[in-house]
Amino acid sequence: MAVTLSVVVPVKDEAENVAPLAREIATAVAGHEAEIIFVDDGSSDGTPERLVALKAEIPNLRVIGHGANRGQSRAVRTGVRAAHGDVIVTLDGDGQNDPADIPKLLAKFAAGDDRLGLVGGVRARRQDTASRRLASRIANSVRQSLLHDGAADSGCGLKAFRREAFLALPYFDHLHRFLITMMIREGYGVAFVDVNHRPRLHGKSKYTNWRRMLVGIDDLMGVRWLQRRMRGKTEAKEL
Ligand SMILES: Nc1nc2c(ncn2[C@@H]2O[C@H](COP(=O)(O)OP(=O)(O)O)[C@@H](O)[C@H]2O)c(=O)[nH]1
Ligand SMILES: [Mg+2]
C-alpha cells in the first residue's frame, strides 16, 4: 500500500507515554494509508524498547533510533527523511497534543491549495503551568515584533506539512520552533487550526523557561538574518 501520510513523533525519555499515544495515533489515522514513526533521541528510560514491543500490535509503527541525544529538531528531521508520506504530521511524544485533531489539520490540505506548505495547531487552552504560559506569552510577543510571521503558537508540536516543503528549508537545530516563519520565507502558504491541549500525565518537561529564553534570543537573531537573506519567492517556469 502506498503511504500518503507519515506521523512523526520525536521522543526523549517518554517511556510511560509512548504506548497510549501510539495507540491513539493508530486510531486517529485508521482511515488513511499511514505510517507512524517514533524517533527516539537517546532516551535512557527504556522508551525505544517499549516502542519496539508495540510493533506487533501496531503494524504500521516504525521506530528509529538516534543513538545519542541530538535534540527535537534533529529527531523531526530524521523522521521526515525516513518517511514515505507526502504529508507529515508531527506531534509531541508526551501526549499533550491530541491525535484526534489530526484529521482537522489534514482537511486543510484536502482543500487543494497547491501553495499550502504547513498547517499549524494553535493550543486554544493550554494545559501548562502559569509560569510556562506567561513565558510563552512574552516570548511570542517579542518574536512577533521581530519576525512578523503571524504565528500565534509557534511552539505547538502538532503540525502538518508537505514533506517536500520541509526538506527544502535550510536546516538548523531548533528549526522546529520556526517552521512557520521558514515556510513563509520559502513562499509557501500557512494555515492554522485550533487544537486541543492536555496535561502531561507522566514524566517531566525537558525544557526550562530560562534555557528556552537564552537560546531563543540567539535563534531569533539567526532567523531574522535568514529572513533578510531572501528577496522574494522563486517562481521557476520552463520557457
Ligand atoms: N527528540 C527529542 N525530543 C525531545 C527532546 N526534548 C524534548 N523532546 C520532546 O519534545 C516534546 C515536547 O517536550 P516537552 O518536554 O513536553 O516540552 P513542553 O511541553 O514545552 O514542556 C516531547 O515529545 C519530548 O519528548 C530532545 O532532546 N530530543
Ligand atoms: Mg510537553
Q: What are the grid coordinates assigned to 119, written together?
A: 498547517
Q: Which atom of ligand 1 is nearest to the CA of 40?
A: 1
Whether 171 lines ligand 1, by a CB cut-off of 6 Å, is no
pLDDT in tens, 26-79: 999 999 999 999 999 999 999 999 999 999 999 999 999 988 999 999 999 999
Whether 175 lines ligand 1, by a CB cut-off of 6 Å, is no
Ligand that comes closest to the CA of residue 72: 1
**pTM value?**
0.95
pLDDT at residue 6 greater than cutoff 90: yes
Ligand that comes closest to the CA of residue 207: 1
* pLDDT number for residue 9: 98
Distance 113 CA to ligand 1 centre (A): 31
The answer to whether the CB of 134 falls within 8 A of the CB of 172 is no
CA atoms within 13 A on the CB side of 51: 29
* pLDDT class of 2 with cuts at 50, 70, 90: low
Please give the DSSP secondary-structure letter assigned to residue 10. Answer: E
pLDDT in tens, 167-203: 999 999 999 999 999 999 999 999 999 999 999 999 9
Domain boundaries, the chain: 5-228
SS3 66: coil
Distance 38 CA to ligand 2 centre (A): 16
* pLDDT number for residue 13: 97
| Geometric angle at alpha carbon 222, from 93 and 39, rounded to 5° | 20
CA distance 12 to 30: 26
209-228 and 130-147 are packed helices; what angle lies between their axes, rounded to 10 degrees?
A: 10
Distance 86 CA to ligand 1 centre (A): 24
Average pLDDT over residues 130-143: 91
Q: Which atom of ligand 1 is nearest to the CA of 94?
A: 23
Distance 199 CA to ligand 2 centre (A): 8
DSSP structure string for 156-216 = -S-EEEEHHHHHTSPP-TTGGGSHHHHHHHTT-EEEEEEE-B----SS--S--HHHHHHHH
User: pLDDT above 90 covers what percent of the chain?
Assistant: 85
* pLDDT number for residue 56: 97
Query: Which residue has the least CA distance to atom 18 on ligand 1?
Result: 205
Domain 5-228 has CATH 3.90.550.10: yes
* pLDDT class of 113 with cuts at 50, 70, 90: confident
Q: Which atom of ligand 1 is nearest to the CA of 155?
A: 20
CA atoms within 13 A on the CB side of 70: 17
118 sits in which H/E element: strand 116-123
pLDDT in tens, 83-100: 999 999 999 999 999 999
* pLDDT number for residue 230: 93
pLDDT at residue 1 greater than cutoff 60: no
Neighbouring residues of 134: CB distance < 8 A, sequence distance ≥ 6: none
Average pLDDT over residues 129-153: 92
